[in-house]
Amino acid sequence: MSASNENLIEIRHLKEYFNINVGLFKSKPLKAVDNVSFDIKRGETLGLVGESGCGKTTVGRTILNLYKPTDGEIIYNGKPIKTKADIKEFRKKATMVFQDPYSSLDPRMTVSDIIAEPLDIHKMYQSKQERRDRVLELMSYVGLNSEHASRYAHEFSGGQRQRIGIARSLAIKPEFIVCDEPVSALDVSIQAQVINMFDELQEKLGLTYLFIAHDLLVVRHISDRIAVMYLGRMVELADAKEIYDHPQHPYSKSLLSAVPVPDPKTARENKRIVLSGDIPSPLNAPSGCPFRTRCQYATEKCAEFMPQLKEISSGHYCACHML
């Protein structure tokens, strides 16, 4: 993981609102992603963590324009992605590994056709032999044998299916991959193999990842920096080691206190920070800071306006009125 100082992806004030029907002829915006900004350097892995429903997956899908952004700017390699032509070009360099290896692969297609689908769409080969050679090369990258090419996805285990999905994402020689909880549906024994494969592919092919997950141990292992989301907002962003050793936001502290520690003595000494109440609905988010209804430090100021994500030490950003 040798990140350069050059930004490959820049996200500026990204918003993704979905109109939800709340009555007869009435709709209300569900703010899945609300004013999120961050950068990802070339060759870097940015981990994105938070509870289910906080907007992590929506961020990844909106960056790739699978959802049309409500507002904000997506800049790739210094160029804003605005027109349909921009999106088409961007999708030749950016792709996604989906969470569920069972539903993201077409059961009617052979492994060879699944992996070659992006090549077919972008017409990236001159002959059938070139297409086949590229498919076999991609299969070798992810540890699949050439005899697997003519088989169907249902004949494989979950770990092997995810490898097929990863091979498909590499077909167009991308620079940037959104990994949407790529190991959460897999057995723990398989997770480590897939995570190590992501590391090896990054070294070999010079990839840049946005790695979305809720398992903080997985994120720590693979990420250079980690961003924490809560209810559509980014609340903290720092180097992986810094955020683990010195979390600043009350929500980050609570998340990290729940990470299991293998040493029983250390685990007994660790104080678990249990949050009160349930995560609010994004349809009826609290005014001001979205975390204030569950925060023990909340004051009247927290209800009045949302704290800005500001730099509190070198490279460490946090959105909290208490800092």
Task: Return the structure tokens found at 147.
Answer: 């005899």
CA 196 to chain centre: 17
Q: Which pLDDT tens digit goes with each residue over 110-122?
A: 999 999 999 898 8
pTM of the model: 0.89
CA 240, 244, 247, 250 torsion: positive or negative?
A: positive
Average pLDDT of the chain is 88
Q: Which pLDDT tens digit goes with each residue over 135-184?
A: 999 999 988 888 888 999 889 888 888 899 999 999 999 999 999 988 88
Interatomic CA distance for residues 95 and 121, integer angstroms: 13
Q: Is the pLDDT of residue 187 over 90?
A: no
E-strand stretches of 1-111? 7-23, 26-41, 45-49, 71-76, 79-80, 94-97
Q: Is the pLDDT of residue 216 over 70?
A: yes
Residues 6 or more apart from 214 whose CB is under 8 A from it? 49, 50, 51, 52, 56, 181, 184
Interatomic CA distance for residues 64 and 41, integer angstroms: 17
Q: Is the pLDDT of residue 274 over 80?
A: no
Nearest to 175 by CA among 310, 43, 313: 43
Q: Which domains does the chain have, with CATH numbers?
A: 7-93+174-318 (3.40.50.300), 102-173 (no CATH)
